[in-house]
């Protein structure tokens, strides 16, 4: 097997139901069936990742995601089945995991390098890169317990990714820390992925999973419920969440509601989001023209680095119809300066093929090259599509009906 390969076969983890661990021997002696008195938290997981592939995990709380990650990381021994992997594995499962609170940050980094299999010489060679990425040079000689959770996160992530692992396993850590560090994390993860690192990534952020992972595993009550392309699984899981909560889709918001997203001194936020084109009083017909016009406040320095506009078109039941991203266009073709720090973007769909229904948009302002959302909002504008004929499904696709050719080559009568 090549470095980065990850295989799980019939993987399962069970804990004994009830009783303290110290009672295990007595229970086994008194009750011959004690060994079967188990509570399974993960069962029947089978997956195979080749080098460079990425897998996302979703599921309700208690579905077994964290336990599965620990099994894949080798932090837990499986009750059943096995895990195989080849190459260097980097794991981030808990804040400060593997660090000693009384040792300094620098000492913890050296120990962490040794645990990951680096020689003393290799550790000293990679330490400057770890420290540079963490931006914690001034705090590294203090005991770890004096550092904030965000600082400990920086150390852990910097260590885990600076050694260039063949397999990276991350559990929700991008939700911790400021936006500046989240962006750095995402750039590092995307860089590792592009260089062939295999990724297992657990997150409650569907947009991140859809951007980073080619496939997603939905865990439900300890078992795999669906493993497929990210778009397929995320749509199914979001529908499950709505049904579980007994809620209708969120009511559309007719005006921008996004609060400014702050990082350092820069701020960006939406000023106007308007649907135009053939739309009349919020209604259009299948095949007509739809124009989405957006005005945003973008600081000059931020605009020069590149800000993309992302639009997610959803049906009223939450089905994701399509994503529109500006990342393939030059920045100066996306945004028109209006004076000051105001910019306008315009997206045109000449022939919208969606069938009758109610639809809405989510939007996001993203730093170019990353899926990190600097500002965004859900259900920011809604509209209806009417159809003159009774079509079924999601799209109207133009097709031509040709008569079958007869054996002589002439059309059949």
CA distance 140 to 160: 17
Helices (H) and strands (E) in the chain, counts: 10, 19
The helix/strand/coil state of 188 is: helix
Tell how far CA 128 is from the center of its chain: 29
Region of 287 (left: φ > 0; alpha: ψ -120 to 50; beta: rest) is left
Gap between the Cα atoms of 254 and 252, Å rounded: 6
pLDDT at 208: 74
pLDDT in single tens digits along all 413 residues of the chain = 888 999 999 999 998 865 444 444 445 455 544 555 789 999 999 999 999 999 999 998 889 999 999 999 988 999 999 999 988 888 887 655 678 889 999 999 999 888 888 889 999 999 999 999 988 988 889 998 898 888 888 888 888 888 888 999 988 665 555 667 777 888 888 888 888 999 999 987 776 787 788 899 999 999 999 999 887 888 788 778 777 766 444 333 333 333 333 333 346 778 889 999 999 888 999 999 999 999 988 888 777 778 889 999 988 877 889 989 988 888 878 899 998 889 999 999 999 999 888 899 988 888 887 777 777 777 888 899 987 666 777 888 888 888 887 665 555 55
Token pair for residue 343?
A: 């910019």
d(CA 53, CA 73): 16
pLDDT for 410 equals 59
Asked whether the beta carbons of 275 and 360 are under 8 A apart, the reply is no
Q: CA-to-CA distance for 250 and 317, rounded, in angstroms?
A: 10
From CA 93, how far away is CA 89, in angstroms rounded? Answer: 12
289 token code pair = 């023209």
Residue 105 burial class via C-beta count within 10 angstroms: exposed 0-12, middle 13-18, buried 19 and up: buried
* Count of Cβ atoms closer than 10 Å to residue 33 Cβ: 8
Which pLDDT value is given to residue 408? 58
Its pTM stands at 0.64
pLDDT at site 96:
59
pLDDT of residue 97: 63
Contact 104, 140 (CB under 8 A): yes
| Cβ within 8 Å of residue 112, ≥6 positions away | 98, 99, 159
Structure tokens at 146: 């004096």
Full set of structural domains in the chain with CATH? 5-17+36-245 (3.40.50.300), 263-386 (2.70.50.60)
- Location of structure tokens 């969440």: 241
Q: What pLDDT does 21 receive?
A: 45
What are the tokens at 206? 């569907």
Q: State the alpha helices, DSSP H only, in 87-178.
A: 105-115, 120-134, 149-162
Q: For residue 392, what are the CA distances in angstroms to 262, 373, 395, 396?
A: 44, 35, 8, 9
The dihedral through the CA atoms of 183, 184, 190, 193 has a sign that is: negative
Please tell me the distance from the alpha carbon of residue 338 to that of residue 120, in angstroms, as a whole number. Answer: 57
- DSSP E strands: which ranges in 298-396? 307-315, 320-325, 336-339, 342-349, 357-367, 373-386
Of 310, 302, 296, the closest CA to residue 344 belongs to: 296
Comparing CA positions, the residue from 360, 379, 349, 361 lying closest to residue 286 is 349
Residues 333, 346 contacting (CB under 8 angstroms): no
């Amino acid at each position: 097997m090549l470095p980065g390969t990850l295989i799980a076969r019939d993987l399962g983890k069970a804990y004994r139901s009830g009783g303290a661990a110290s009672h295990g021997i007595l229970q086994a002696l008194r009750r011959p069936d004690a060994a079967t008195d188990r509570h399974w938290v993960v069962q029947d997981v089978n997956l195979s990742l080749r080098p460079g592939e990425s897998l996302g995990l979703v599921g309700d709380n208690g579905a077994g995601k964290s336990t599965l990650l620990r099994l894949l990381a080798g932090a837990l021994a499986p009750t059943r089945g096995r895990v195989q992997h080849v190459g260097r594995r980097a794991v981030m499962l808990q804040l400060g995991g593997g660090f000693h609170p009384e040792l300094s940050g620098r000492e913890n980094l050296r120990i962490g390098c040794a645990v990951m299999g680096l020689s003393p010489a290799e550790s000293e060679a990679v330490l400057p890169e770890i420290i540079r990425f963490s931006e914690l040079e001034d705090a590294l000689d203090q005991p770890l317990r004096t550092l904030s959770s965000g600082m400990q996160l920086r150390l852990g992530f910097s260590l885990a990714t600076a050694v260039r692992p063949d397999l990276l396993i991350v559990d929700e850590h991008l939700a911790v820390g400021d936006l500046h560090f989240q962006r750095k994390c995402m750039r590092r993860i995307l860089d590792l992925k592009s260089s062939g690192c295999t990724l297992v990534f657990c997150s409650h952020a569907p947009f991140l999973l859809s951007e980073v992972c080619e496939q997603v595993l939905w865990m439900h009550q300890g078992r795999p419920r669906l493993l497929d392309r990210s778009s397929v699984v995320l749509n199914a899981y979001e529908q499950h969440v709505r049904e579980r909560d007994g809620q209708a889709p969120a009511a559309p918001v007719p005006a921008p509601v996004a609060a400014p997203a702050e990082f350092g001194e820069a701020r960006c936020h939406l000023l106007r989001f308007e649907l135009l084109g053939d739309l009349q009083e919020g209604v259009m017909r299948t095949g007509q023209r739809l124009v989405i016009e957006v005005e945003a406040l973008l600081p000059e320095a931020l605009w020069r680095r590149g800000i993309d506009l992302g639009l997610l078109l959803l049906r009223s039941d939450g089905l994701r119809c399509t994503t529109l991203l500006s990342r393939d266009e030059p920045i100066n073709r996306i945004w028109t300066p209006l004076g000051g720090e105001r910019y306008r973007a315009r997206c045109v769909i000449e022939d919208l093929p969606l069938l009758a229904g109610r639809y809405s948009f989510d939007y996001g302002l993203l730093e170019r090259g990353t899926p990190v959302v600097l500002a965004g909002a859900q259900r920011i504008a809604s509209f209806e599509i009417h159809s003159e004929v009774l079509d079924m499904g999601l799209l109207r696709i133009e097709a031509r009906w040709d008569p079958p050719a007869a054996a002589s080559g002439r059309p059949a009568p």
